[in-house]
Amino acid sequence: MMTTTKLNHAIVIGGSMTGLLTSRILLNHFERVTLIERDIYPVKPEFRRGIAQAHQLHQLMVRANIILESLFPGIEQELLNLGAVQIDWPKDVLIVYGSQLVPRFSFNLNTLFLGRPLLDWTIKSRLEAFKGFHILEGHEVTELLYDALQKRVTGVLLCRSDNRKNDDSPSINSLLAELVVDTTGRATEAHKWLATIGYTLPKKTVVDASIGYASRLYQPSPEFKFDWKAVQMYPRPPYLRGGGIYPVGNNLWHVGLIGINGDYPPTDEVGFLEFSKTLPGLEIHEAIKSAKPVSKIHSYRQTQNRLYHYEKLSQMPDGFITLGDAVCAFNPVYGQGITVAALSALTLDDLLQEEKYKKGKLTGFSIRFQKKLAKVIAHPWLLATLEDLNWSKTKGIKPQPWFVYRLIQRYTYQLLQKAAREPDICQSFAEVMHMLKPTSSLFTPRMFWRVLLELTPNKAEIVSEDIRKITAQRLT
């Protein structure tokens, strides 16, 4: 929604997905929004250095797809026209959760699979049509401007980034704004900026399963026969490996391999193909052994879950907030990042709409926002970290009381077994995964009774071998 009276100027630091979505929201509430990005944006959908995960697998959760359409009407069709592929999840996807082959029911959960460069470029292009939106590229923020008397951030100091060191065009050294938003992702220095102006460093929680990716693009062989649009193989104990095949348009597959607890997929030609043989199912290996590679292999290993607890600070300066990966970075294997970024942007929209401006100064807004954001993050954080804490070599502090969370892990395993046989339970799980329903919907008394009524022994190794036999039969 749009406030009746707009404030003058907001600054967004960092121009990846969170920064773009945050800019769109701020345009509802500010006359001008300046997005500061250290990179130089490409003129067409291309990979750029500032998107560290751009070479890895991406899908839009259904909830993210809905939010994007609400912010940019018609963008789904635009993305489809540009090469994105619409998926009915899980009907169109061959899905393996560790030892469990997920039946391909149809729940009309339609979403998009596409390359990250296309998504970022399309949203940026939409934003550039908004009056009052400006991108300052090739610059980076060095520190916050701060009014100690009012305890308020009033803007930023800047310098040219490495991308524009040899540029002779005029450089902007400072900008003033009523609100400064940090969306710089995992590279955030917000905690350092706050310490420089006298504020306490937020506590940090890290859960690291030492997960690594290796990905490349392929052109499928015309002779290879398949009945799916995508493949998702999620590793679960005791199996340390997984992978996926995602369509990205132009008759190309984005193929990614995943290894847990330091069991990283190789980045050489032979090793990549050999690693694909060891997944729970054979589909990925069979698909790529006859496919044509059209890119080099890219690796990514900055996958730890990391949460800065800004919500626990007793004080924050007015005029400054932070969100996205700069606050909470997830292990990307679960595909939550873009959806949580979109939900965080909507939270900002709601609070700005509710805010009773005091002479246009947003007094007390920063700490209220960070506390509200923490509630939005809580469930995705719990899901991601509980899953990663299944692995024996995962590093990090376990939530307490741990025995309760172990029961939740065990219950989730039983739920997946049940979902493989009963469509309504599978649908409930799918709706939670795509953030259409809260996690609590899987823990109702009725659901508890149905899941626990028929306990399934944890025979992952046996079932996994069954999956390999099933996929082998499908391919013959």
Q: Give the pLDDT confidence of 27-56 residue by residue, as tens digits.
A: 999 999 999 999 999 999 888 776 766 676
For residue range 360-384, list pLDDT tens digits in order.
679 999 999 999 999 999 999 998 9
The CA-based angle 184-121-43, given to 5 degrees, is 105
What are the structural domains of the chain? 7-58+117-206+305-378 (3.50.50.60), 73-114+210-302+400-476 (3.30.9.10)
pLDDT at 233 over 90: yes
What is the rounded CA–CA span in Å between residue 270 and residue 268?
A: 6
pLDDT band at 3 (very low <50, low <70, confident <90, very high): very low
Could you tell me if residue 132 is left (phi over 0), alpha (psi between -120 and 50 degrees) or otherwise beta? left
Q: What is the DSSP letter of 106?
A: -
Query: How would residue 417 be classed by pLDDT, with cut points 50, 70 and 90?
Result: confident
* Contact indicator for 384, 329 with CB cutoff of 8 Å: no
Cis peptide before 317 (omega within 30 of 0): no
The token pair that represents 258 in the structure block: 């995943």
- Pairwise pLDDT comparison (472 vs 156), residue with the higher score: 156
